[in-house]
């Protein structure tokens, strides 16, 4: 491992100025033969890192640009409801790229070797799960959903031992920050004076600078995090996204989707859908996600209690008042998005019934969620929709001044035709595992413009064939 004479432009390490209990300085463990298999030139350009395109040794951690002292972050978390001490067991934060507007973006290597937080793990990642995170995070971004981004995937030239030996890889993840609910759980539990307050100050500076001047900054932070999660969860529900492992360490304060493990998208609409092999109780089922988000937010609020009010009872009251607001906020975001999916420009009281009736129909008829909305048309009742519902919807559309052309345009933007469908993702990753990256790049290209007006080959828009069977995702990433 070596340090390069040149540095990343406008790069900082503000996290390293926090109390040391929150992280451990450590370097990535060098790999034998790093090669870049995916590079995100658009993101690189946005970050001003385009000059580093041909630098697999940097994106594997073999070489560090000048001035960088990487670190692994400490955090805790409730995993399936059980509290555990965690931390970056296979990730290294290189630092933060400072954008023109002053915002900082974390640049982190994932799969870059063991750290003090690795427990029994090898600190490594396999190629397929890293390509999966790249593909789905970039698809989410193109769908307009807040998410961490993926800059590069580098193969290591080494094998990682899972159920069988697999090619190893390292992903470069870019995020508004890697602060998690679990980071606050760690800080609140560490019993060192000032740590929690520093972390709150840091989160405010990065994510809600205006909260610094609020009468109660910690409360303003809580409000912001609750609002961002309400928005995020609504967006997931709109596109049929199932995160799969909504542990508190996988909930980001920034409101970005983070940690693409066993996640997957609905084909057929069913709120009880679970993809993850380890989620036997259905804790993180599609329809449960908003309630789980609130559960996680409650854990977050608990970490802030001492900072919300010196009087413990008042602190609880304050936290509860914000948490009680989650459901209403979520519902507002969700309904507004569903209205857009139906081409509605205005909000009317009975819209919720219209939406719920439709979802009930999709569920009973086992319809493909994405294909149904993409094919829905106000002037064509032959798209297999309940005729009674269709005329109620048309009557509702007739109440607004907008033309059907305007309605169609609104619907087009709100109803993606392509999502990273499970069978497509599987096929692309299987091919990549055998050395053929072409299906991966083809799928990635189509996912860049999910509401495209262009002709999208039908194989990308239709659901899986009957022989694909029930989809199961595995956490062993
Ligand atoms: P995740 O399920 O990816 O959210 O990871 C949960 C925790 O396990 C985090 O603390 C990770 O850093 C850690 N972890 C996951 N895989 C590995 C690995 N191969 N080696 C070391 N730590 C790991
Ligand atoms: Mg995680």
Stated as kind and residue range, the H or E segment containing 85 is: strand 82-85
Q: What is the distance between the terminal CA atoms of the chain, rounded to a whole angstrom?
A: 25
Q: What is the pLDDT of residues 21-46, one digit of tens each?
A: 999 999 999 999 999 999 999 999 99
Q: What is the pLDDT of residues 367-388, one digit of tens each?
A: 999 999 999 999 988 778 999 9
What is the predicted pLDDT for the residue at 419? 98
User: Among 224, 249, 259, 309, which one carries the catalytic annotation?
Assistant: 249
Is residue 263 within 8 Å of residue 196, measured between CB atoms? no
**Gap from CA of 435 to ligand 2 centroid (Å):** 27
What is the predicted pLDDT for the residue at 158? 98
Q: What is the pLDDT of residues 277-292, one digit of tens each?
A: 999 999 999 999 999 9
pLDDT band at 469 (very low <50, low <70, confident <90, very high): confident
Q: What is the pLDDT of residues 346-358, one digit of tens each?
A: 999 999 999 999 9
Q: What is the pLDDT of residues 261-276, one digit of tens each?
A: 999 999 999 999 999 9
User: 417 in ligand 1 pocket by Cβ < 6 Å?
Assistant: no
**Gap from CA of 191 to ligand 2 centroid (Å):** 24
- What does the angle CA 355 – CA 360 – CA 363 come to, to the nearest 5 degrees? 125
pLDDT > 90: what percent of the chain? 94
**Gap from CA of 474 to ligand 2 centroid (Å):** 14
User: Which of 82, 88, 89 most suits a substitution to test ligand 1, by most atoms within 8 Å of the C-beta?
Assistant: 89
Token code pair at residue 384? 């297999």
Phi, psi of 324 (to 5 degrees): -60, -25
Q: How far is Cα 130 from Cα 169, in angstroms, rounded to an integer? A: 7
User: 160 in ligand 1 pocket by Cβ < 6 Å?
Assistant: no
What is the predicted pLDDT for the residue at 382? 72
* Ranges assigned E (strand) in 140-262: 149-161, 165-175, 241-242
Stated as kind and residue range, the H or E segment containing 95 is: strand 91-98
In total, the chain counts a number of residues equal to 477
Q: What is the pLDDT of residues 396-412, one digit of tens each?
A: 999 999 999 999 999 99
pLDDT band at 477 (very low <50, low <70, confident <90, very high): low
Q: What is the pLDDT of residues 105-135, one digit of tens each?
A: 999 999 999 999 999 999 999 999 999 999 9
Q: How far is Cα 97 from Cα 15, in angstroms, rounded to an integer? A: 12
What is the predicted pLDDT for the residue at 381? 81
Longest dimension (CA), the chain: 70
What is the predicted pLDDT for the residue at 476? 56
Q: What is the pLDDT of residues 214-240, one digit of tens each?
A: 999 999 999 999 999 999 999 999 999
User: 418 in ligand 1 pocket by Cβ < 6 Å?
Assistant: no
**Gap from CA of 252 to ligand 2 centroid (Å):** 10
249 is catalytic: yes
Q: What is the rounded average pLDDT of the residues 458-463?
A: 94
Q: What is the pLDDT of residues 282-337, one digit of tens each?
A: 999 999 999 999 999 999 999 999 999 999 999 999 999 999 999 999 999 999 99
Residue 1 has pLDDT above 90, yes or no: no
Q: What is the rounded average pLDDT of the residues 75-87?
A: 97
User: 89 in ligand 1 pocket by Cβ < 6 Å?
Assistant: yes
Which ligand has its closest atom nearest to the C-alpha of 121?
1
Beta bridge partners of 107: 95, 174
């Amino acid at each position: 491992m070596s340090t390069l004479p040149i540095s990343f432009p406008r790069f900082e390490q503000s996290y390293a100025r926090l109390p040391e209990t929150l992280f451990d300085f450590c370097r990535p463990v060098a790999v034998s033969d790093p090669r870049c298999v995916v590079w995100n030139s658009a993101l690189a350009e946005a970050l001003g890192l385009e000059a580093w395109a041909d630098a697999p040794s940097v994106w594997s951690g073999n070489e560090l640009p000048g001035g960088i002292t990487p670190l692994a972050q400490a955090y805790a978390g409730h995993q399936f409801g059980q509290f555990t001490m965690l931390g970056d067991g296979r990730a290294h934060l290189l630092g933060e790229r400072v954008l023109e507007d002053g915002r900082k973006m974390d640049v982190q290597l994932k799969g870059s070797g063991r750290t003090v937080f690795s427990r029994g793990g090898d600190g490594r990642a396999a190629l397929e799960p890293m390509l999966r995170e790249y593909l789905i995070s970039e698809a989410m971004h193109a769908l307009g959903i807040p998410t961490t981004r993926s800059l590069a995937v580098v193969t290591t030239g080494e094998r990682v031992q899972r159920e069988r030996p697999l090619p190893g890889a390292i992903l470069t993840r870019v995020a508004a920050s890697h602060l998690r609910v679990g980071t606050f759980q760690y800080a609140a539990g560490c019993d060192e004076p000032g740590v929690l307050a520093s972390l709150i100050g840091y989160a405010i500076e990065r994510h809600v600078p205006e909260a610094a001047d609020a009468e109660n900054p910690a409360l303003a932070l809580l409000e912001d995090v609750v609002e961002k999660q309400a928005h995020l969860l609504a967006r997931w529900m709109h596109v049929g996204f199932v995160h799969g492992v909504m542990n508190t360490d996988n909930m980001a304060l920034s409101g970005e989707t983070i940690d693409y493990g066993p996640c997957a998208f609905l084909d057929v609409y069913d709120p009880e859908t679970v993809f993850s092999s380890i989620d036997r109780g259905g804790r993180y089922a599609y329809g449960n996600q908003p309630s789980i988000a609130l559960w996680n937010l409650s854990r977050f609020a608990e970490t802030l209690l001492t900072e919300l009010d010196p009087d413990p009872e008042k602190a609880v009251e304050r936290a509860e008042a914000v948490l009680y607001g989650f459901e209403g906020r979520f519902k507002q975001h969700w309904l507004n998005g569903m209205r857009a999916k139906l081409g509605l420009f205005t909000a009317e009281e009975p819209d919720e019934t219209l939406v719920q009736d439709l979802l009930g129909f999709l569920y009973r008829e086992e319809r493909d969620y994405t294909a149904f909305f993409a094919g829905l048309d106000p002037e064509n009742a032959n798209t297999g929709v309940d005729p009674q519902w269709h005329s109620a919807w048309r009557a509702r559309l007739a109440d607004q001044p907008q033309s059907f052309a305007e309605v169609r345009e609104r619907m087009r933007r709100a109803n993606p035709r392509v999502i990273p469908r499970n069978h497509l993702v599987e096929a692309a990753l299987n091919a990549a595992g055998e050395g053929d990256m072409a299906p991966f790049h083809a799928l990635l290209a189509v996912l860049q413009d999910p509401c495209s007006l262009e002709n999208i080959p039908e194989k990308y828009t239709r659901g899986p064939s009957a022989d694909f069977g029930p989809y199961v995702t595995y956490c062993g990433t």
